[in-house]
Chain A
Amino acid sequence: MDWFPLYNSLRVALISTFITFFLGIFAAHYIAKTPRLIKGVLDGVLTLPLVLPPTVIGFFLLKIIGPLGPVGSRVLEVFGFKLTMTWYSAVFATTIISFPLIYRTARGAFESFDSTLLYSGQTLGLSNTFLFWRVVMPNCKQGILAGAVLSFARALGEFGATTMVSGYIPGRTAIISTTVYQLWREGNDALAYKWVFINLIISFIVLVTVNMLENSYKQPVGAAKDHFEHED
């Protein structure tokens, strides 16, 4: 059995989760503070990929990073390589599609954060940077991690936009979802079942992880003491 699709799927999902993790926290942190109107508009724009059909995202992406698109043609001209039909093309697609998941969970975590902790820290003379990393982040940790795991799962399961921008080239751009599709078209049910099974296991692990994170997130501070003790 060729394990490339598993390797490629994990690679794409991990890289895009890494990117969305920072982008999502950054966006969530700044947007949580903006006035209501701007917040509404930005929120809509950033959440759009969650509700649009992935093929629409794929279509836009092709128009931008395709060999004829404004970005794609420039990169081809200057650097001499294509942005589509490669394994990393899938990263563009999964990043955009999984971004809203981490963004929304992180924003929820920031918004439910008790702002008096921040204010008291400020009046005690602690810098905003210190407070963000040592007080805000540790207290929003579970929410943000749950978002990251969800976003990873979504990236792993992406099919529509990915197949449009990176296609299916065995050994080069194949991922689990495109492989299953290809195997079904070829009538190779035996192998398709294997990949479906692998996918089921990964998704199940991810969901159990999210559940565990969310449960410890909801516990009151006192009850979560075991969790805190792991930190030292």
Chain B
Amino acid sequence: MSIYVKIIKSFGNFVLNTEFEAGNEILALLGSSGSGKSMTLKCIAGIVKPDKGRIVVDGVTLFDSDKKINLSPQERHVGLLFQNYALFPNMTVEQNLYTVLKNCNGQKNTKERLGLLLESFYLTGLEKHYPGQLSGGQQQRVALARIMASDPKIIMLDEPLSALDSYLRWQVEKELTEILGKYKGSTLYVSHNRDEVYRLCKKVCVINKGHSEKVSSVDEFFNSPSTLASALLSGCKNYSRAEKLSSDTVYAVDWKVNLKCNTFVPDDAKYIGVRAHKILPVHMDGDCQNKVICNVLETSHDLFSVIITLAPLDSDPKKEFSQIRMELPSIEDNFVLPGDIMAVNIPTDMIMPLRK
């Protein structure tokens, strides 16, 4: 089972240009809202027709602008879970599933398969309920069961957890993990939430303003994102424009310091990024590499951590990237205060060189 997608579609000023491939795995399409993730799924499902490109699932061409192939959504056998689950409100749970089952495999074993689906999606007892009477999590299970009833070649989930209350989300996510674990084909998982992606997916394709980046593994994406956009999506908080000085030194333009760098710095690196919890306070007189003297602008306490906002001494704190955010586990109260000066260490192996 596999999927290959390469599509171009423009709407006014916005151009969607995505290309990716996935095998028997869960591929996350990660991007901020409005980046074209949902549109990509709609193109694959046949709801929206791309201007150009090719979509192939399991060797079957669903869309090819050169060969003038454009299968109808019904012919594509692609399961799409909508954000609002899109259950038919005028039908009971049972009718929602039955309609699809009957349509897909004619008359044979429909009753049996219905029972099996209800059971494996924990819907027993809810058969006669209408979607409006179900909780968000239950609705999602019905929607997933209905998709499975149609024997899809791949399944696509459009922000499946975003419509749920936060206390429900954890429970539903566990169920979703189990269901997706049993599914043998390719899965596309659209999300803007990096934690969800980290827990549920194996691979990530970042979509930034309509453009897809290279597919990378989840570990690679979180440990060494290669572009500014993917670093932002992976949750990295600190950035500076950067100039490469030598193979192991960069000049951080916004922080106005030279930094030693253990990681490989590509020639086209334009930024560096450092995660907030990797920055450490050091003694003012201490001798260490990458020591940066900063003004403390602000401190704030979370439940389990302290967030300290810093500005390197020579930098202009009003500029976009010049502030540094440091997160420490909650330790002794107020060991620094706004207005203080402190020294921090940016570990050489924690600097992530980023392309634009």
Contacts and interface: CB of A to CB of B under 8 A. Distances in A.
Interface of A: 114, 116-117, 119-127, 130, 134-135, 138-139, 220-225, 228, 231
B130 A225 contact: yes
Nearest to A127: B74
Contacts of A231: 90
Interface in B75-119: 76-80, 82, 84, 86, 88-91, 99-100, 103-104
A135 B88 contact: yes
Contacts of B147: 124
B86 A120 contact: yes
A129 B149 CA distance: 20
B133 interface: yes
21 contacts: A117-B86, A117-B89, A119-B86, A120-B82, A122-B45, A122-B46, A123-B46, A123-B47, A123-B74, A123-B78, A123-B80, A123-B150, A124-B100, A125-B103, A125-B104, A126-B100, A127-B74, A127-B103, A222-B130, A222-B132, A228-B90
A125 to B, nearest CB: 5
A124 B80 CA distance: 8
Contacts of B146: 124
Contacts of A139: 88-90
B210 interface: no
> How many B residues touch the partner, as a band?
20 to 34
Contacts of B103: 124-127, 130
B70 to A, nearest CB: 14
B72 interface: yes
A221 B132 contact: yes
B50 interface: no
Contact of A122 (B47, B84, B104, B131): B47
Contact of B74 (A114, A126, A224): A126
Given A221-B132, A228-B130, A119 B74 contact: no
A119 B90 contact: no
A226 B236 CA distance: 51
A223 B132 CA distance: 8
A140 B104 CA distance: 26
Contacts of A117: 86, 88-89
Given A120-B82, A123-B73, 9 more contacts: A117-B88, A123-B74, A124-B150, A125-B77, A139-B89, A221-B89, A221-B130, A222-B130, A223-B132
